[in-house]
């Protein structure tokens, strides 16, 4: 089983879309996505600096658009039997699974990004990755400080989210054997701070047509397989204010007999986690069009 995975916020870097726009039709497609998402994704992906593309309302549609461009560029996708996305990457996964149209997906991610940015502006919050250490001790310390374990990423990484003061205290007095790394995000995503964004996204999703998945689709909610398109969309909406259980997704990949993993642009984060949590499973990070040959080789079982 070859699984396609799509990354979440924080994976973008300045200028990363430039090589993708050299592919035939990509610039026109990105212009179309820009119209749906109501943001200039061409400029954002080529010329805007790190601070500009860190903005939630920019980063989210930019990441999903990049994932869709690289997914489209793969060409023959028939050997991809399963899909999953991390956080906002779930929107790209729903498109790859045939649940949403590109138009609806890009409209929703534009709305999601703007709504989460507005929710984040209401209070000063943030997120920090806690790497290593004893999981129970890490979760205990996060709870003690009144923070939320917003992302259970697997591979020895848990992301804490909440108010800035307790995040600073977590860094100053970290659990034994851990490193605490502040993340370049604008708010406490996947926590109760995002409740206003859930309401906005739910209203936008209410009239969206959702088809049942044509590939196996795993959810961030609990790592379970979702067979209903409407359920997948409802869970995606609720996930904005609930923890991402990527650890359970990877456990489900292993239980399903995963034989290869392909991460689409802007790639690298999820294959990095998989190397620790899915040891021995070959993976390809499709960062530029040059990586498509390796992805195709993994799909066909041939050498790149």
Contacts of 226 (CB under 8 A, 6+ apart): 213, 217, 218, 219, 232, 235
Residue pair 205/108 in contact by the 8 Å Cβ criterion:
yes
Q: How far apart are CA 244 and CA 265, in angstroms?
A: 20
Among 115, 62, 97, residue whose Cα is nearest residue 233: 97
Q: What are phi and psi of 266, to 5 degrees?
A: -80, 105
- Cα separations in angstroms, 180 against 151, 183, 206: 14, 9, 39
- Joined together, the tokens standing for residue 179 give 């490193």
- Based on the residue annotation, tell me whether 152 is a catalytic residue of this protein: no
Q: How far apart are CA 273 and CA 265, in angstroms?
A: 15
- Based on the residue annotation, tell me whether 86 is a catalytic residue of this protein: no
The arrangement of strands across the sheet holding 283-285 comes to: 216-217, 80-85, 2-6, 260-263, 283-285
Instruction: Find the catalytic residue in 26, 70, 87, 128.
Output: 87
Instruction: Find the catalytic residue in 190, 219, 252, 283.
Output: 190
Among 179, 78, 64, residue whose Cα is nearest residue 128: 179
Residues that are catalytic: 87, 190
């Amino acid at each position: 089983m070859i699984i396609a995975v799509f990354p979440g916020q924080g994976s973008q870097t300045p200028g990363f879309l430039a090589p993708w726009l050299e592919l035939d039709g990509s610039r026109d497609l990105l212009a179309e996505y820009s119209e749906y998402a109501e943001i200039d994704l061409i400029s954002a992906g080529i010329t805007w600096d790190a601070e500009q593309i860190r903005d939630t309302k920019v980063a989210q549609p930019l990441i999903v658009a990049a994932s869709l461009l690289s997914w489209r560029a793969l060409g023959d996708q028939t050997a991809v039997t399963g899909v999953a996305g991390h956080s906002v990457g779930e929107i790209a996964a729903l498109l790859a699974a045939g649940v949403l149209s590109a138009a609806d997906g890009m409209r929703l991610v534009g709305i999601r990004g703007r709504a989460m940015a507005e929710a984040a502006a209401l209070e000063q919050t943030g997120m920090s990755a806690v790497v290593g250490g004893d999981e129970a001790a890490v979760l205990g310390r996060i709870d003690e400080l009144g923070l939320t374990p917003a992302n259970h990423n697997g591979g020895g990484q848990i992301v804490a989210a909440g108010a800035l003061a307790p995040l600073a205290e977590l860094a100053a007095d970290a659990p034994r054997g851990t490193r605490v790394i502040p993340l370049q995000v604008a708010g406490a995503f996947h926590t109760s701070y995002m409740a206003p964004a859930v309401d906005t996204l739910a209203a936008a999703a209410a009239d969206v047509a959702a088809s049942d998945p044509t590939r196996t689709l795993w959810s961030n909610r609990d790592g379970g397989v979702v067979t209903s398109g409407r359920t997948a969309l409802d869970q995606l909406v609720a996930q904005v204010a609930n923890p991402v259980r990527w650890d359970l997704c990877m456990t489900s990949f292993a239980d399903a007999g995963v034989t290869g993993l392909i991460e689409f642009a802007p790639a690298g984060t999820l294959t990095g986690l998989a190397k620790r949590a899915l040891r021995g499973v070959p993976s390809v990070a499709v960062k530029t069009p040059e990586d498509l040959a390796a992805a195709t080789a993994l799909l066909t079982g041939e050498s790149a």
